Amino acid sequence: GQQLNQSPQSMFIQEGEDVSMNCTSSSIFNTWLWYKQDPGEGPVLLIALYKAGELTSNGRLTAQFGITRKDSFLNISASIPSDVGIYFCAGQSSNYQLIWGAGTKLIIKP
Amino acid sequence: DAGVIQSPRHEVTEMGQEVTLRCKPISGHNSLFWYRQTMMRGLELLIYFNNNVPIDDSGMPEDRFSAKMPNASFSTLKIQPSEPRDSAVYFCASSLNSNSPLHFGNGTRLTVT
């Protein structure tokens, strides 16, 4: 079946650093979604990408839909403490089914 | 917009008891999803409703699990009888249509002892 490889699994960063994470798949997707989950809450949509090659920003966040439609990355610039959490990618083909990455846990070094 | 509302936030019950989780989707959304999240398996889709009709229940673990959507503003997920391995966070999500991004509730953390 379809699978997504999300990396890294976790990241320890200093406040102010830039962050990059990505998802790759052997399958083609029509939509890529990036979500963030804080402890005790549900995933919150950060960015939705609908077109191969699309580059979209949301504040300090930037995400791109890979040209091959099999990958996507998320960058966070100048990280701040509230960026801590788990980031998930999800790919969608032609129907309602989402294929989820395993998540990237972002931790700020004290 | 209040977002997707789930209740209760936490549920602790004994093995064998019936558990009912509730969800109110975002008004105007025609698609509703129930997910389960665990450390081991991540997010798993349990069931998907479109216009109140169950479309895909292939993710429902077994007959102990059932879900209903009697109207566009309410859905329930029931586990009867509950077992310790059902312990997880259960999320409800809704979307404008089947191809739109999902909006999640804050989940129900279920603990079965």
Quick check: helix, strand or coil at residue A7?
A: strand
Chain B hits for A38, CB-CB cut-off 8 Å, are none
Q: pLDDT digit of tens for each residue in chain B (113 aa)?
A: 689 999 999 999 999 999 999 999 999 999 999 999 999 999 999 999 999 999 999 999 889 999 999 999 999 999 999 999 999 999 999 999 988 999 999 999 999 99
CB contact under 8 A, A96 and B105: no
Q: Does B50 touch chain A (CB under 8 A)?
A: yes
What are the pLDDT digits (tens) for A42-85? 999 999 999 999 999 999 999 999 999 999 999 999 999 999 99
Q: What is the dihedral of CA A80, A45, B44, B27, to 10 degrees?
A: 140
Chain A hits for B102, CB-CB cut-off 8 Å, are 33, 43, 45, 98
Who contacts A110 (Cβ-Cβ below 8 Å, separation ≥6)?
none
Q: How confident is the model at residue A97 (pLDDT cuts 50, 70, 90)?
A: confident
Q: Does B35 touch chain A (CB under 8 A)?
A: no
